[in-house]
Each structure stands twice: as structure tokens, then as C-alpha cells.
Amino acid sequence: MVHPLLADSVVRAIEHAASAHRGKPWVYRTFTDLNDLASHPSGVFHGDPFSVFAKLGVAANAGEQFAAELSGLNLLRDLAAIAIPTPIAAGVVAVSSGSLLLSEALPERAPQARSGADWRSIGRTLAALHRVHDESYGLDQTIGFFGPFRQDNRPVRSNRWTDFYAERRLVPRLRSAVDSGHLPSDLAAQVERVVRRLPSLCGPEPVPSLLHGDAQQHNFISTPDGAVVIDPAPYFGHPEIDLALLDYFDAVPDDVLDAYRDIRPVDHGFTERRELWRLFGYLAVVTVAGDGPFERQFLARVADAVRSYQ
């Protein structure tokens, strides 16, 4: 099958955007398929003097999702002075099959080839984000996305972290998991009990900190110049959310938190709260994964998490 990004109309749109970005004609020479590393059809179009990373969204709201992603990246760069990919032209391009998100491709090391310095750079990047504070939890840009899900970033009336986490993160993902039919009713009831117990589980009230929001390790690109952030879901919240999501899918070495602690402290209770902050993400996976081994793995994670907080 032809890769979706190699359809003639898509290639023309990418070359047109890259030519506008360059200010003179740009054509690609070769293509690298990155589908195995991404949730969207993705790849790199190699050319001179830059190459283009492209991902294609085919959902009805793909253009809105990509615009929110680009806006989130710009927010993190502007507020925390961290590195983000350079958008190609406007960054988001509509095509007949959906929407494209385009940026200059980066020279990167794969996660399995990361050095200690690469991991420490990720820790320092997170610490730089978390040093940016606000008075309220949430974000003026009220609607974002966490994966395919709309993410409500509106501040809550109480401006307490317990309420924000419950109302804007945990309860919406619980509802989506229940509505999907993939979450057993007894397990849903156990999650509800955890929600009611949040005031006694969330620990000290944090200062609202700028979050990546989806800080699992594959949402950082390791380059010779340090970590570059991709795929954010930003808002002001509890910094432990980002720390908990780092090794959400795969383990990370101690270098990450060691480098983070060189800049910011980590509360001694974080280890006990780690699964609490992952619970909304587990529910998101259960919602979309369907009936298979992957979903069953995350159902087990939900069950283990709620058992520990009963």
C-alpha cells in the first residue's frame, strides 16, 4: 500500500509549503516512514537545505487538533524559552485527506540510543517549564487536546488542585471510559471512590506550574543541542503530573529526575502519588484501545492503581 503521505496531492502540498517556507522551490529526494513511532501517519521528506517532518490527521477535527498542538508549542517556547520544532510555513496545512502538521525535521537520537546527557536534558527541560508559575490552575486557552480527547483547561471556581484534577482530568476520562463500554462497572465504581477521596490523597497544595501535559518520554526529541519538546497538552497544574507521565509507557533512567532535582525539588510523597496522576491517562487508553491485550494491560493498571488508593 502507498503511504498516505506519499499521495500525489499530499506531496504537492508539502513541497508547496516547504517552498514558501524557504522562499524558493523545494522538492524532496527521499522519504522515511515513521508510522511505527507515531499515532498518526508520519514521516520525513528529505531535501535541501532542510528536511520536512510531516504527520497527517484524518479525523474531522484534525486541523483543530494540530492548531492546538502548534499553539501549545509556541506557548511553552514563549513562556519557558525551551526548544520546539520550527514550523514549516503556517505549520498546519489542509489537504483533501485531512490536515498536515509540518515542521523542519530534527537530527535526533532514538530513545534506545539516548546518552545520560540526553536524559538529563529532558529533566532540565521539564524543570524549566515548572519554574513558570501562574495564580490559577488551567489555561486561558481553554480547549486543548490530550491525544484524541478534548481537554477542558478552564480554571475551577475553588482554584484548588484537588478540584481541578477531579473536574477537568479524572472525571471526564472516567466518563469517556464508561461510555466506551470498555471499563467494567465495578472498576468504574472504584475509580469514583478514588475521586471522592482525592482531598486526602493529593498531598500538599502545589503552586500552579506550567506543564507539558503529556510528558511521556517519546514526546521529547533528543538532538545534539539538547531536548526538543513535541506533542504538548499544556496548562498550569501540579508538576508531579509531568513527572508521573515520563515513564508512563517505558522506564526512564535516574538521570532524568537527578537533573530535574538540580533545579527544582521533588516532594518526598511523589512516589506514593505517581499512580494517582497516571490514572486519567490509563482511562484514556482504556477508552480508545478496544478489546485486546493492550487494553487489558491498562485495565489491570487501573485496577492496581485504585486498589492502592482505597
- Which tens digit of pLDDT belongs to each residue from 106-126? 999 988 899 999 999 999 999
Catalytic annotation present for 134: no
pTM score over 0.85 = yes
Residues contacting residue 31 through CB under 8 Å, at least 6 positions apart: 3, 5, 6, 43, 44, 45, 46
User: Please, what are the domains in the chain?
Assistant: 4-104 (3.30.200.20), 111-308 (3.90.1200.10)
Q: What is the pLDDT of residue 140?
A: 85
> Which regions of the chain does DSSP assign to beta strands (E)?
30-33, 42-46, 52-57, 87-95, 98-104, 143-146, 149-152, 209-211, 220-223, 226-229, 235-237
Q: What is the pLDDT of residue 290?
A: 72
Number of H helices, E strands in the chain: 10, 11
- Which tens digit of pLDDT belongs to each residue from 203-253? 999 999 999 999 999 999 999 999 999 999 999 999 999 999 999 888 999
Q: What is the mean pLDDT of residues 101-110?
A: 94
Task: Compute the Cα dihedral for 7, 9, 15, 21 and give only its sign.
Answer: negative
The C-alpha atoms of residue 91 and residue 96 are separated, in whole angstroms, by 17
Q: Is the pLDDT of residue 141 over 80?
A: no
From 152, 179, 214, 267, active-site residue: 214
